Amino acid sequence: MPPIINKDTCNLCGICCDICPQDVFAFDNQDPPRVKYPDECWYCGACVIDCPVDAIHLKLPLQMQIVPSPARYGSPGTQEAEALRKAAAFSRSVIKEK
């Protein structure tokens, strides 16, 4: 499912349009961005994270809703464990219900 923008919350800052690596949005500075190319979204979550007013909701496809368990992070302090911890935190932030 492509990103959904809450038009009542959006402040027209345009950050999501600037940050999206896939140019998913179209924006004219007058109205909230619209999702112009929904199939181009790769669910990186950048728009969700950078929106200053939390106006973007992104529901990950089921196959992407895999959050690593802390028990599987590996030995604490290792580079792998830290990478998995960050990936899990990111996944949780993106799939949270608003």
Q: Which residues bind ligand SF4 (CB under 6 A)?
A: 3, 5, 10-16, 19-22, 24, 32-33, 41-47, 51, 53, 55-56, 58
Q: What is the DSSP string of 47-68?
A: HHHH-TT--EE-PPPGGG----
- Residue pair 36/25 in contact by the 8 Å Cβ criterion: yes
What lies within 8 Å, CB to CB, of 51 at 6+ separation is 15, 16
Nearer to ligand SF4, 53 or 89 (CB): 53
**Cβ of residue 88: shortest distance to ligand SF4, in angstroms?**
18
**Cβ of residue 59: shortest distance to ligand SF4, in angstroms?**
11
Nearer to ligand SF4, 38 or 70 (CB): 38
- In terms of phi and psi (left: phi > 0; alpha: psi -120 to 50; beta: otherwise), the region of 32 is beta
Nearer to ligand SF4, 11 or 78 (CB): 11
